[in-house]
């Protein structure tokens, strides 16, 4: 793989495309926002007629917001139709396992000669910028092998989730289940501590060194005590991601009481108008319900 289209130049897609450019890949950028495309071309992206580039590219890397946008690119905009024979669609956006499998089937229905790799990531904007994402990939073994050089630029940990589209997205859903439940659990624990009049700073220090510790507790716990000026990740991201976890549970008929409860806590925060706050601020829903809001 040398020539790629990168579709989606948002907070994740932009740094990913930049890193690929820096590593010597020929990158044609695409975004609905044409200003972003022009800006990326000025940095070294390949401009010109998109259809021509699609017909020449080895791969189409997609990093957009949801399954609807993936479908819009592939089918409404006709990108799947225009790709050259044997090209690989590398779908890295977070979508449900069922959506990923379905999109793969829809691609196959119109183009049996394309590869579809299901390859969501974790690590956020920082991971995208540093090229240290965790990549969970699934698909045809030859296509996965061909994607290796791309993934090694984008991430520091590459896990093969399986050979079927949907399995990468299922890995991501399981990952997000824990991330979301751990943030909500940290909020629940600290709100209980607060209601009991305990010193939260001593508490977070204690918890961080005990069997009660989690990556999220250590990262978000201090942000729950002192609301941050910056935003690591928004409440709305977990409404989306835990929503996908609940979809994945429904699609596979699995029992997920903790994920469902955590999802509803993030939604309650968002519905009160706090969706754009740092996700640590889900503690505000606990405080409200504890009469401390």
Residues at the contact surface with its own copies, assessed by CB under 8 A: 97, 122-124, 134, 136, 157, 159-162, 167, 170-171, 173-179, 181-182, 184-186, 188-193, 195-199, 202-203, 205-207, 209-217, 219, 245, 248-249, 252-259, 261-262, 265, 286, 289-291
Tokens of 81: 């139709």
Comparing CB distances to its own copies, the nearer of 32 and 193 is 193
Comparing CB distances to its own copies, the nearer of 65 and 258 is 258
- Supply the minimum distance, in Å, between the C-beta of residue 7 and its own copies: 25
Q: With contact defined as beta carbons under 8 Å apart, do 188 and 203 qualify? A: no
Comparing CB distances to its own copies, the nearer of 78 and 163 is 163
Comparing CB distances to its own copies, the nearer of 62 and 203 is 203
Nearest-10 crossing angle of helices 167-195, 257-269? 70
User: CA–CA distance from 70 to each of 11, 12, 138, 153 (Å)?
Assistant: 16, 15, 17, 23
Q: How far apart are CA 275 and CA 208, in angstroms?
A: 27
Q: With contact defined as beta carbons under 8 Å apart, do 161 and 138 qualify? A: yes
User: CA–CA distance from 41 to each of 2, 26, 48 (Å)?
Assistant: 17, 11, 9
- Enumerate the active-site residues: 172
- Supply the minimum distance, in Å, between the C-beta of residue 284 and its own copies: 12
- Supply the minimum distance, in Å, between the C-beta of residue 189 and its own copies: 5
DSSP designation for 65:
S
Comparing CB distances to its own copies, the nearer of 79 and 191 is 191
Q: How far apart are CA 59 and CA 16, in angstroms?
A: 14
Q: With contact defined as beta carbons under 8 Å apart, do 51 and 82 qualify? A: yes
- Supply the minimum distance, in Å, between the C-beta of residue 236 and its own copies: 17
Query: 3-class DSSP state for residue 110?
Result: helix
- Supply the minimum distance, in Å, between the C-beta of residue 190 and its own copies: 8
């Amino acid at each position: 793989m040398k020539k790629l289209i990168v579709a989606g130049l948002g907070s994740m897609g932009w740094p990913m495309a930049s890193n690929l450019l820096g590593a010597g890949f020929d990158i044609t950028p695409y975004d609905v926002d044409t200003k972003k495309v022009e800006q990326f071309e000025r940095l070294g992206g390949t401009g010109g007629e998109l259809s021509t580039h699609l017909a020449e590219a080895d791969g189409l890397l997609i990093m957009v917001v949801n399954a609807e946008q993936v479908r819009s690119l592939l089918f409404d905009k006709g990108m799947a139709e225009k790709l050259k024979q044997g090209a690989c669609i590398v779908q890295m956006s977070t979508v449900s396992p069922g959506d990923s499998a379905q999109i793969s089937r829809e691609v196959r229905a119109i183009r049996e000669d394309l590869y579809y790799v299901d390859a969501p990531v974790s690590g956020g904007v920082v991971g995208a910028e540093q090229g240290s994402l965790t990549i969970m990939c699934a698909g045809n073994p030859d296509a996965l092998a061909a994607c290796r050089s791309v993934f090694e630029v984008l991430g520091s940990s590459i896990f093969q989730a399986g050979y079927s589209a949907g399995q990468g997205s299922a890995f991501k859903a399981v990952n997000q289940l824990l991330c979301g439940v751990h943030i909500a659990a940290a909020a629940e624990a600290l709100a209980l501590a607060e209601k009991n009049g305990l010193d939260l700073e001593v508490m977070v220090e204690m918890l961080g060194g005990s069997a009660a510790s989690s990556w999220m507790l250590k990262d978000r716990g201090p942000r729950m005590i002192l609301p941050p000026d910056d935003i690591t990740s928004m409440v709305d991201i977990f409404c989306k991601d835990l929503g996908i976890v609940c979809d994945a549970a429904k699609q596979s008929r699995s029992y997920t009481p903790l994920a469902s409860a955590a999802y509803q806590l993030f939604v309650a925060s968002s519905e009160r108008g706090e969706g754009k706050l740092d996700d640590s601020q889900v503690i505000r829903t606990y405080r409200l319900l504890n009469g401390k809001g």
